[in-house]
Amino acid sequence: MKPPEMRWPPWMRRETLAAYIDLSPGAVDQYVKRGILPRPHKIGEALLWSAEEVDAAIRNGGAPAREQEDAYDIGSRRAAEIYNHGDTVQQGSNDLDPYIQAIQRAEKEDKLARRTWVKERQAARRAEREARKKERAARETK
């Protein structure tokens, strides 16, 4: 006797999706993080996956990129870009060294950009405080 055919909902929560593709919920999270499965949609307070998108991602070997990217993925892509623009592997060196160096350069650039942004923001806040002080002083003298 043939078992009854299971009907899956068109939109699924994480646990239902995990059962649908026969993975643990933690594995679903990892597959989403790595771009194998699509990201969930926020519908109300719930995070839901479209069965159609999941099926398409599985058929195509990975989810299409959506507007938000993981910070780790952005950093990895930047390191690869830095690496591909002029770095070469020296003979006898570990093949990973250029990648590590590229990641370190990207981290330094990010740190420098963050410091610059912080300094600019601090200067802007100082200027705003000074402007407010001048306005207060002008009001008090009236």
Q: pLDDT of the chain along its 142 residues, tens only? A: 555 666 888 899 999 999 998 889 998 988 888 888 888 988 888 889 998 988 888 888 776 545 445 556 666 666 666 666 654 444 444 555 666 777 778 888 888 888 888 889 999 999 999 999 999 999 888 7
> What's the rounded Cα separation, in Å, for the pair 50 and 25?
16
What are the residue boundaries of the structural domains of the chain, listed by start? 11-60, 71-141
Q: Provide the β-strand partners of residue 65.
A: none
* Helix or strand run (H / E) with residue 11: strand 11-12
φ/ψ of 84, rounded to 5, equals: -75, -10
| Structural contact between residues 6 and 46, judged by C-beta atoms closer than 8 angstroms | no
